[in-house]
Amino acid sequence: MELNGKVPPGDLAEKWTKYKSSMPLVSPDNKRRLDVIVVGSGLAGASAAASLGELGYNVKCFTFHDSPRRAHSIAAQGGINAAKNYKNDGDSVYRLFYDTIKGGDYRAREGNVHRLAEVSVDIIDQCVAQGVPFAREYGGTLDNRSFGGTQVQRTFYARGQTGQQLLIGAYQALSRQISLGKVTMYNRHEMLDVVLIDGKARGIITRNLVTGKIERHAAHAVVLGTGGYGNVFYLSTNAMMCNVTAAWRAVRRGALMANPCYTQIHPTCIPQYGDYQSKLTLMSESLRNDGRVWVPKQKADAEAIRQGKKRGADIPEADRDYYLERRYPAYGNLVPRDVASRAAKMVCDEGLGIVPTGLGVYLDFAAAIERYGKSKAHSSNMENPSAQQIWDLGKAIVEEKYGNLFEMYEKITGEDPYRNPMKIYPAVHYTMGGLWVDYNLETNIPGLFAAGECNFSDHGANRLGASALMQGLADGYFVLPYTIGTFLSKEIRTPKFNTDLPEFAEAEKAVRDRLHGFMTTNGKQSAESFHRRLGKIMWEYCGMARNAEGLAKARRLIQELKAEFYADLYVPGSTDEFNPELEKAARVADFLEMGELMCIDALKRSESCGGHFREEFQTEEGEAMRDDEHFMFVAAWGWQDTSQEPELHKEPLIYENIKVAARSYK
Amino acid sequence: MKLNLKIWRQQNAKASGRFESYQVDANEHMSFLEMLDVLNEGLVSTQKEPVAFEHDCREGICGTCSLVITGQPHGPQSGTTTCQLHMRHFHEGETIVIEPYRAKAFPVLKDLVVDRSAFDRIIQAGGYVSVDTGAAPDGNDILIGKEVAAKSFDAAACIGCGACVAACPNASAMLFVSAKVSHLALLPQGKPESARRAMNMVHQMDEEGFGMCSNVTACEAECPKGISVENIARLNREFIGASFTTSK
Amino acid sequence: MNNWFLGFFTSSIGRKLLMALSGLFLILFLAIHLAGNLQLLQNDGGVAFNKYSAFMGHNPFIQLVSKGNFAFIILHAVVGLMLWVKNKTARGAQGYAVVKTRATQTNPTFAKFMWLYGIIMLVFIIIHLVQFWAVMKFGEVGTAVQLVDIEGEQVRDLYSLVGAAFTNLGFVVFYVMSMVVIAFHLWHGFQSAFQTLGWNHPKYTPIIQVLGKAYSVLVPLGFAVIPIVFYLLHS
């Protein structure tokens, strides 16, 4: 299949503006006749549904949550990037574009990323107008902070709950359209298939999660804003219900899954502490603004800490290795996520980890508390403040900045992070891969669009901090509402679809058969137990570091696990009731296939780039080594029939404006 | 640690429910929901139906988890959602009673799962700023003092979990409604339609069948996000003012 | 009277406003009533008290206020009962098996039982009215109530009426208990009224709360002290 990214020609900075102005439009009268289905109500889904409703389309929006406000976008902590240059520190659209391409290790499309940087400024304005209470300066202007992989302050934030505030903004906009009758909201409905008519996406099959009723919904186009697939790993910072099912069902209908192996491992999460654990908790990247990452220099010290004989504070300054500051002097603790994560793995592999499992490093705020305390004492004209006074003043400032994160840490671990350095370890956080889309965010199935984390488009092989919120909202507010017109302008004469069409009947039957299959396997093991085992395989062989042998082995193990799943699954209850175990079984079935595809993709990509680190391909210093000659492409996989081998389609990546270079944060 | 659980089981919205007793072997590092996971794994392994409960992010922000744990929404730890509650706050041999939220406006769907869509309908009645995408001025054109932004944020921190309704002896939703009204009324962007918003949201709240505020302040005490009843006073001001000053 | 007005006063906040305003009026009334009752403690054989009683019985302004007072008592009771019923049903058919309340700003026990205190107070008020007010207003002179000469004017002798009641130990105990209930009701009601009016401010609310607590202790205490002293002195 020839993959056409459809990036418009012309000067990079002019592409989007020109394209927008020359794009076919749908008149207001015709918009009223067109139906659009939006699946998902997170940042991308809710903002798209609201904006499409405002434009006049008839929108049906679906979420498996009890309310659109629960989507996992809500958990994003640190902030959202925008090239506003309010700090006068030399930021610009081009710099944000450049940072994002470089941060993504030169594996993203130039055109898409530049557009993202352009609309980033509009997002902030839009969110402010909606009433998002961003942090402000005393003078009333918006405040910024820095995030990893950048040297400017362009991150807008609302304490440690930026995602929550942005999602609530989008939820409010969506609620307004619901009240105006332009959006019909379907809560507690899970999409289980997409319906194609004459090769175009024309509807979906859903299950009402309360009654179990299987329903058919038709529209002229379908938008998926269903998030990422990080939960393939079982343990991740994703919410428990995050899953790949909507995207995967689209793949099984012919959509392509792009770059599935690009997984972001976030460096600052609370380390795992038990086998019963259900999820990992992120500590915002913003903490690296002030926290210093370190491990003891001596293995003996690390050993003593692991055994509880010493505490972090007992290790003298000279015996600490601030390894990020040492290895990456230019960016220090604020190197991009993939770099920071790998560095943590490296020191722990050397036996320097500081938690009983050996998998943990310190994130220390003692220096920041002292620095802030001294500065505050100075500005309050205190003469010869005592160490305790300085500590108290500094603690107050750290508390103001990160209080809720510190509180969360204490709740989970039972330790006071002001007194003892935080213990952190990398964890799966985000997936850069996703459904392949062109510049219009349209998949290779006409009429099927994907927005937000669900698509692969903007982050290349690694996403920079505070860019997920930016991309989700860019897609939903400022890109999709325009680009969907390129498809719908050709559909203005297409009448509404009847859900009695054979294509709907076939899809519904397929869904029913599948669910029936899960119910009647009558084995012994729960869906959860399979999920946990899949996660272990993925983390072991397709996690922070991968190699050919391990990936091949992982694929074999997953296939065995999948066979066991279909032979020995047990689902209690019935299909026509509220049945979380059945939901879980259907999701785990899709995770099993997605996991296998990730291993296939990771094996195919014989290079290291961004979040994909192949042990065979590294420099002597342990940095990732790309192979631009052979792998400067998007790997888009088609896998309709999983009994066959998946089919790889390559979209070459062409850099016209950026000089591709080895990524250095030194 | 061994725990005795008394859990409300109810097949569906129409069925009548009852308490059932279970024993579970937990450990103190588990979160409360992980303890329930362990219980459910055990039930499924013996081919029994697991206890239905709602949860998602498990980091205290999505507002999906609920539960009344031995008489307290989100359990005994203040300022903490159920998903962030850890078993180290319970003791060996303790009996824990787990019930769903009880309110006419939050009907039980199954076991511990309740329908909180009334909150969505209240927001739809006016809990937004009427601004279309693309119609916004520059973010810095609207100056908002640091304290005002912080105050608005404090109200906006509401996660819509419904603990306020569950805790209120009158099952009143005033804290939830007032948090949204305050969040937007405090900001200049929200002011133009603040009167309309307050009136429409309160009327919707009344229609949903929530009780009325008796200023008990149990909502504030149980709110996992520490939303203040100061917001309720603000809602009262907004609503009374709007009712007597608007032309409608 | 058009729709918006009715709409407002049937809304939850509108009804609460009625409770708050009528409550505040009754709070004020209590203070005035207490001022009068304190005349009972003057050791003058009831002259001052009967003078006050006569003034209250004949001054046209006071008469108007007293009518308003009745109206507010009825309004406060009726709306209060409506709220109570609505609030009971809002919990739904199935209540909690266990209820545990964290410490709150105000004592929730007082807040939760406002309806109970209210009903007890209503009973007290009815007894109070039948025993004193109705007799003063409609009682037959010579049998139910005597006349007494105050500065040359024949007025009904409330002092003797009250004196008879206050020397009955059972009644004194009932009266004092009722005052305790009023104190409970005020403890929550005073500051709650301000919250309902929307007066909550980090600087001023603590002052209102202190004033409210002082008022809800001192005023009922003032009322309660009178029969006790009277009983000790005269029985």
CATH number at residue A614: 1.20.58.100
Under 8 Å CB pairs connecting chains B and C tally to 159
Judge whether C152 lies within some domain: yes
Give A116-169 pLDDT, tens digit per residue. Answer: 999 999 999 999 999 999 999 999 999 998 888 888 999 999 988 999 999 999
Cα gap A445→B165, rounded to integer Å: 46
Whether C149 is covered by a domain: the verdict is: yes
**Which DSSP state fits A612?**
B
Verify that A278 and A329 share a domain, yes or no.
yes
Residue A143 CB neighbours (<10 A): 18
Distances B137 to A121, A155, A171, A183, A472 between C-alpha atoms, Å:
11, 19, 20, 25, 21
A494 domain residue, yes or no: no
Q: Which two tokens stand for residue A448?
A: 């099927």
Query: Does the residue A586 lie in any domain?
Result: yes
Residue C101 in domain: no
Closest partner residue to B123 among A163, A172, A414, by Cβ?
Answer: A172
User: What are the backbone angles phi and psi of residue A626, rounded to the nearest 5°?
Assistant: -80, 160
Please write the tens of the pLDDT for every residue from A53-88.
999 999 999 999 999 999 999 999 889 999 999 999
Smallest CA-to-CA distance from B48 within B9, B15, B82 is with B9
d(CA C18, CA B174): 17
Distance CA B98, CA B95 (A): 10
A418 and A304 in a common domain: yes
A406 band by pLDDT with thresholds 50, 70 and 90:
very high
Does one domain contain both A448 and A560?
A: no
Contact by Cβ (8 Å): A138, B144? no
Instruction: Give domain status of residue A285, yes or no.
Output: yes
Tell me the C-alpha distance between C117 and C110, whole Å: 9
pLDDT of A649 > 50? The answer is: yes
A21 Cβ contact partners less than 8 Å away, ≥ 6 residues apart: none
Taking residue C189's Cβ as centre, other Cβ atoms within 10 Å add up to 27
Domain-located, residue A623 = yes
Using the Cα atoms of residue A280, residue A285, residue A287 and residue A290 in order, give the sign of their dihedral: positive
How many independent structural domains does chain C possess? 1
* DSSP SS3 for A482: helix
- Residue A262 tokens read as 């690009």
**Average pLDDT, stretch A612-623?**
93
The first and second tokens of residue B138, run together, are 């520059």
Residues 65-104 of B with CB under 8 A from A: 77, 79-80, 84, 86, 88
CATH label of the domain that carries residue A309:
3.90.700.10
Q: First vs last Cα of chain B: how many Å apart? A: 61
Q: Are both A90 and A189 inside the same structural domain?
A: yes
In this predicted structure, the answer to whether residue B222 has a pLDDT above a threshold of 80 is: yes
N- to C-terminal Cα separation, chain C: 55
Query: Across-strand partners of A295?
Result: A321
Contact indicator for A46, A477 with CB cutoff of 8 Å:
no
Residue with tokens 């948090």: B179
Nearest-angstrom CA–CA distance, C79 and A647: 73
Cβ atoms of residues B170 and C87 within 8 Å: yes
Specify the number of domains making up chain A: 3
In sign, the C-alpha dihedral spanning A453, A458, A463, A466 is: negative
Asked whether residue A643 is domain-assigned, the answer is no
pLDDT digits (tens, 9 = 90+) for A465-481: 999 999 999 999 999 99
Contacts 24+ apart (CB under 8 A), C34-43: C34/C219, C34/C222, C34/C223, C37/C222, C37/C223, C37/C226, C38/C222, C38/C226, C40/C159, C40/C162, C40/C166, C40/C226, C40/C230, C41/C226, C41/C229, C41/C230
What pLDDT does A330 receive?
Answer: 92
C-alpha dist (Å) from residue A442 to A26, A41, C191? 17, 18, 60
What pLDDT digit, counting tens, does each position of A6-51 carry? 999 999 999 999 999 999 999 999 999 999 999 999 999 999 999 9
pLDDT by position in tens, chain C (length 235): 468 888 899 999 999 999 999 999 999 999 999 999 999 988 888 899 999 888 888 889 988 988 999 999 999 999 999 999 999 999 999 999 999 988 776 677 788 889 999 999 999 999 999 999 898 888 888 888 888 888 888 888 999 999 999 999 999 999 999 999 999 999 999 999 999 999 999 999 999 999 999 999 999 999 999 999 999 988 7
The beta-carbon neighbor of C200 closest among B230, B240, B244 is B230
Q: Which segment of A600-609, B14-23, B217-226, C155-164 scores lowest on mean pLDDT?
A: C155-164
Is C190 among the domain residues? yes
Domain extents in chain B: 2-110, 117-245
User: Are A207 and A252 contained in the same domain?
Assistant: yes
Contacts C198 to B, Cβ<8 Å = 233-238, 240
Locate the chain C residue with the closest alpha carbon to B236: C198
Rounded Cα gap, residues A269 and A281, in angstroms:
6
Strand stretches in chain B, DSSP E: 2-9, 18-25, 68-69, 72-73, 95-99, 108-110, 113-114
The answer to whether B and A touch (≥3 CB pairs < 8 Å) is: yes
* Residue C131, domain CATH: 1.20.1300.10
Together in a domain, A110 and A237: yes
**Closest partner residue to B203 among C11, C16, C99, by Cβ?**
C11
For A294, residues 6+ apart whose C-beta sits below 8 A from its C-beta are A320, A321, A322, A323, A361, A362, A364, A421
How near does any CA of chain B get to the CA of C224, in Å?
A: 27
Domain membership flag for residue C94: no
Is the Cβ–Cβ distance between C188 and C69 less than 8 Å? no
- Whether B117-245 and B2-110 are alike in CATH topology: the answer is no
Residue B106 with chain C: CB contacts under 8 Å: 92
pLDDT tens per residue, range A245-280 = 999 999 999 999 999 999 999 999 999 988 889 999
Tell whether B41 lies on the interface with C, counting CB pairs under 8 A.
no
CA torsion sign for B223, B228, B232, B234 is negative
Q: Are residues A410 and A436 in the same domain?
A: no
Residues in contact with B241: Cβ distance below 8 Å, sequence separation at least 6, in sequence order? B195
**What torsion, rounded to 10 degrees, do the Cα atoms C118, C119, C122, C127 define?**
-140
The tokens of B102 are what?
Answer: 């009880």
What DSSP letter does each residue of A334-401 carry, written as one string?
A: G--HHHHHHHHHHHHHTT---STTS--EEEE-HHHHHHHHHHHHHHTT-SS--HHHHHHHHHHHHHHH
**Would residue A664 count as lying in a domain?**
no
Q: Print the domain residue range for C135.
A: 14-89+106-234
Interface touch B233/C199, C-beta < 8 Å? yes
CA distance C180 to chain B (A): 20
Do A504 and A484 lie in a common domain?
A: no
Q: What does each C-alpha distance from A267 to A352, A467, C16, C176 come to in angstroms?
A: 16, 16, 52, 68
What amino acid is encoded at A353 in this protein?
G
Q: Which fold has domain B2-110?
A: Ubiquitin-like (UB roll) (3.10.20)
List the domain range (segments joined by +) for residue A405: 266-428
A156 with A283, same domain: the answer is no
Q: Is pLDDT at B248 greater than 80 in this prediction?
A: no
- Supply the CATH classification number for the domain B117-245: 1.10.1060.10
Place of tokens 């509880």: A308
